[in-house]
Structure 1
Amino acid sequence: MTLPSHAHGADDLCTAGTTLYERALAEGRVRSEAAEAAPCLTRYGLLRADAEDPAWLRPTAPAVALPRLLETVGHRIARHRSRAANLATTFESLMALAPRHAAPAGPSAITVLNGLPVIQKAVAQALAETSKELLSIQPGGFRPPEILAKSLPDAKGALSRGGRMRTLYQHTSRHSLSVFGYHDQLQGDTEVRTLDEVTDRLFVFDRVVAFIPASKDRSVALEIRLPALVEHLAAAFECLWSLATPMYPHAEELPSSNGITARQQAIAHLLVDGLTDSEIALRLGMNVRTARVHIAKLSAVLGSSSRAQLGYLIGRSGILRRQN
């Protein structure tokens, strides 16, 4: 039976597990009973039974274990995205009925917010009441300075009350001076990470209330105060956060492999999925011209002379198997 102290994810390996895994890598194997103190190692496939002698456990090479674990996380994120999309689709079909038939939403309900002014007012009010944690996902690249400036006073207020702010942008935001300037002005416990792709916009305040879009043009949103659903959305954020690359206050370089950047790897996946240049640009938060520049660079690295050949070379190159 798994001990309560080991009820953690693979991304937060316990001290006992880390120590034993390091020992197994150094010595080549460990006794099976040694793993009783760290059952997480067998649960996540970091130790496996010796085929010749079950009394011993052999370590899985880190280079093999890491892609497997990342793939598991990726599947979990995909499930979160699918559930969020299904939820938004379900409620979008009910929007027309809500004003006439639905009773006013209470504090433990889902409130439909119609119109940008109504949405902004509700978000600002929730932010003004926040004192512990601000989680947000902001898709797209460029962030208009005037939009960022509007939220600055409320964000500063939450941080001054001891709150912590974590924001996920797409990699294209790394070139936005307005984003860096905004977080510099906050002067509090704020941190930013980036990914090639993120979910649609999300705000979670103190894990009490969350906001998500409920229409494609974002003119309708849902204010969610159901504890289980708010926690579900916060968990989706944490999954993405664990995979993201730090951008602020201390930036890390985006990884590359054999001349193929992380951005080009993401584009390679979308090309193989059959997306057009416009669709790729939308998914990755960039304009079409920038997307085409990256596709051209990818073609040059792989030696492709046509779109069809590029798909073949991507598959043969092993790009799709690499994990960042």
Structure 2
Amino acid sequence: MRDDHSRPRACDCRKSPPDRPCETALAVYRRALLQGSLPEADAPGCLRALHLVVEDSDAPGSLIPVPPETASFAALGSIEEAIVGQRRKLRATRAALAVFEGLYADVRRPERPVLTRLAGRAVISKALDAAVGSCREELRTAQPGGGRPSHVLGEALSRDLEMLRRGVRQRTIYQHTVRSHRATLSYIEQVTAAGAEVRTLAEVVDRVIVCDREVAFVPVPEDPHTALRVQHPALVSLLIRHFDHAWGRSVPVRPEAAPLRPSAITSDLQRTILLAVVGGETDASIARRLGMSRRSVAEHMRKVSEQLGSNSRAQLGYLLATSGLLDS
């Protein structure tokens, strides 16, 4: 029966970084080099795992040190073999996928799918990542609904910064209400510092993302978890013209002054709200469309009602329509 002294010496590898041997192994290996050998029980497990000691055939129970260069063949051989195997598997998988890609193209080519339905947030996100990742010249984005959720902005930030580093021009239109939304302003500050251009408008009709002049993404109104990928040149050009028209009417965002509400922005918002009142829209509908609260909509209406001397919504609509206040 072997006593406790015959057990391998414990090491302190857990206290050391992955790329640094433990102090116990270094000390024992140094002693083995100086003495020429050491008892088998004195060798820590990590020294054996690295093949830095081997049994002495002339002295059973003893170990002799091995030069690291020699030990590397045994220690690294299995790892290198595994890497070679993984690389071989990678090449084989790529080749197999290439065959399927050719088959897919042959079957789908007659269909020419210029519109592709993308269902589910994960599918949409992957399609967007692929399109933005291959964007070479310009990304146009229109984002309605006011301030965006922090987790959505966090996902977009790294993707957009990487694209800007590649020299791609990024232009984004938000609604005026983002100028008081901290999370969105933080995102805007970071991307504009990297070269992006951001503007705001009272009303952004719908969400649209256009990569270069090749592919666009639009939502499906009746299903918030579904989008369309548009690849028809005429439809993409139409979306680009729509975006560029809105861009020309929008107001640049300067992050350092973004919390302020310049008179141009206030009057633009107010005019859009009052036009909606004349059109018979409710406060809830106006607030939803402009990405703001019902209270803010009501406050704008109150101020104009006081100016025109209106006592009711119907009277306000009549006075607005006949006063010339909303004439271009």
Q: Indicate the residue corresponding to 2:149 in structure 1.
A: 144
Is the CA contact 2:178–2:185 (under 8 Å) kept in the aligned structure 1? no
**What is the Cα deviation at residue 122 of structure 1?**
0.6
**What is the Cα deviation at residue 104 of structure 1?**
5.1
> Is 1:300 paired with 2:309?
no
**What is the Cα deviation at residue 254 of structure 1?**
4.0
Q: Aligned letter for 1:181?
A: S
SS of the residue corresponding to residue 298 of structure 1 reads helix
**For the residues of structure 2 that align with 1:189 and 1:283, how far apart are their CA atoms?**
29
Q: Indicate the residue corresponding to 2:72 in structure 1.
A: none
After TM superposition, the score normalised by the length of structure 2 is 0.62
Equivalent of 2:134 in 120, 129, 137 = 129
Deviations 1:149-189 (Å, cap 9, x if unpaired)?
Answer: 11111111110110111111111111112222112222322
Deviations 1:274-303 (Å, cap 9, x if unpaired)?
Answer: 111111111211122221122112212222
Q: Indicate the residue corresponding to 1:212 in structure 2.
A: 218
Is the CA contact 1:268–1:319 (under 8 Å) kept in the aligned structure 2? no
Is the CA contact 1:141–1:169 (under 8 Å) kept in the aligned structure 2? yes
Is the CA contact 2:114–2:232 (under 8 Å) kept in the aligned structure 1? yes
Equivalent of 1:196 in 178, 183, 202 = 202
Is the CA contact 2:118–2:226 (under 8 Å) kept in the aligned structure 1? yes
Q: Indicate the residue corresponding to 1:255 in structure 2.
A: 264
SS of the residue corresponding to residue 261 of structure 1 reads helix
Q: Indicate the residue corresponding to 1:233 in structure 2.
A: 239
Tell me which structure has the larger Cα radius of gyration.
2
Q: Indicate the residue corresponding to 1:99 in structure 2.
A: none
Deviations 1:72-123 (Å, cap 9, x if unpaired)?
Answer: xxxxxxxxxxxxxxxxxxxxxxxxxxxxxxx758786211101111111111
Structure 1 residues without counterparts, runs of 5 or longer:
1-102
**For the residues of structure 1 that align with 2:320 and 2:124, how far apart are their CA atoms?**
43
Deviations 1:34-59 (Å, cap 9, x if unpaired)?
Answer: xxxxxxxxxxxxxxxxxxxxxxxxxx
Equivalent of 2:189 in 181, 184, 191 = 184
When residues 107 and 145 of structure 1 are mapped into structure 2, their CA distance, relative to the original with a 3 A threshold, is farther
Deviations 1:19-71 (Å, cap 9, x if unpaired)?
Answer: xxxxxxxxxxxxxxxxxxxxxxxxxxxxxxxxxxxxxxxxxxxxxxxxxxxxx
Q: Indicate the residue corresponding to 1:275 in structure 2.
A: 281
Is the CA contact 1:245–1:254 (under 8 Å) kept in the aligned structure 2? no
Deviations 1:223-242 (Å, cap 9, x if unpaired)?
Answer: 11122211111111001111
After TM superposition, the score normalised by the length of structure 1 is 0.62
When residues 189 and 108 of structure 1 are mapped into structure 2, their CA distance, relative to the original with a 3 A threshold, is farther
Q: Aligned letter for 1:247?
A: V
SS of the residue corresponding to residue 224 of structure 2 reads coil
SS of the residue corresponding to residue 136 of structure 2 reads coil
**What is the Cα deviation at residue 192 of structure 1?**
1.1
Identity of aligned residues (%): 41
Is the CA contact 2:135–2:211 (under 8 Å) kept in the aligned structure 1? yes
When residues 144 and 107 of structure 1 are mapped into structure 2, their CA distance, relative to the original with a 3 A threshold, is farther
**For the residues of structure 1 that align with 2:133 and 2:139, how far apart are their CA atoms?**
11
**For the residues of structure 2 that align with 1:168 and 1:304, how far apart are their CA atoms?**
35
Is the CA contact 1:169–1:193 (under 8 Å) kept in the aligned structure 2? yes
Deviations 1:128-150 (Å, cap 9, x if unpaired)?
Answer: 11131110000011211221011
Q: Which of 311-320 and 105-114 deviates more?
A: 105-114
**What is the Cα deviation at residue 215 of structure 1?**
3.1
When residues 298 and 217 of structure 1 are mapped into structure 2, their CA distance, relative to the original with a 3 A threshold, is farther
Equivalent of 1:242 in 248, 253, 264 = 248
**For the residues of structure 2 that align with 1:207 and 1:307, how far apart are their CA atoms?**
45
How many residue pairs align between the two structures? 217
